[in-house]
């Protein structure tokens, strides 16, 4: 679950050679360049992700700064790790486990697990890569603020929409799964 708005800036800044036009490809290049924390710190977007690094026998999971994308995990006592975007998806797979806890991955954090020979994992570290209120490492498209509050709102909203229009077309569509038809009945 990744929606990134920085793939073009990252490609220019680090001179990456992309093989696809997918926004998620920049994650792998950033990870290869500087590791999981470096990658997460340079991602402008919303994400719940995992990277399996078999050469180092590590598994990384991470969640965007604001926690827009949900990410849940379940680590059993024997070292079995499951990760899902819905908590329900994790509780359904462990009918035979007596003790398990489904937890959310905290916003703005990444976790690293070492992979044992039997495929089970051990937590190596859990770190915060960004805190709300701190400036990000990537360049933002936020405009300069003016004295006029209405102008600021308009400017920030335009920048937010522009950032999300990644296609070559000049149109955009936002779909929501929530039925809002009853809100207009009043």
What's 2-128's CATH class?
alpha beta
> Checking DSSP bridges between strand 102-104 and strand 72-75, what pairing results, if any?
antiparallel
Phi/psi class of residue 27: alpha, beta or left (left: φ > 0; alpha: ψ in -120 to 50)?
A: alpha
Alpha helices in the chain (DSSP H): 7-14, 25-41, 87-91, 149-164
* Residue range(s) of every CATH 3.60.20.10 domain in the chain: 2-128
Among 5-19, 87-101, 119-133, the range with the most confident prediction by mean pLDDT is 119-133
Q: Mean pLDDT of all residues in the chain? A: 84
Q: Is the pTM of this model over 0.85?
A: no
Give the tens place of pLDDT for each residue, 114-139: 999 999 999 999 999 988 888 888 77
């Amino acid at each position: 679950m990744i929606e990134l708005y920085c793939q073009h800036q990252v490609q220019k800044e680090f001179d990456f050679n992309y093989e696809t036009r997918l926004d998620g490809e920049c994650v792998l290049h950033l990870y290869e360049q500087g590791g999981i924390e470096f990658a997460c710190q340079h991602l402008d977007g919303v994400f719940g992700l995992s990277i399996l690094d078999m050469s180092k026998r590590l598994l990384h999971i991470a969640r965007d700064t604001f926690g827009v994308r949900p990410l849940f995990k379940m680590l059993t006592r024997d070292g079995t790790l499951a990760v899902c975007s819905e908590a329900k998806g994790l509780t359904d797979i462990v009918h035979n486990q007596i003790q398990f806890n489904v937890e959310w991955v905290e916003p703005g954090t990444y976790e690293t697990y070492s992979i044992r020979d039997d495929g089970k994992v051990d937590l190596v570290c859990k770190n915060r890569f960004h805190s709300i209120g701190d400036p990000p490492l990537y360049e933002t498209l936020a405009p300069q603020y003016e004295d006029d509050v209405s102008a600021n709102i308009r400017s920030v909203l335009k920048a937010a929409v522009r950032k999300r229009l990644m296609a070559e077309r000049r149109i955009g569509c936002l779909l929501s799964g929530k039925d809002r038809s009853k809100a207009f009945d009043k």
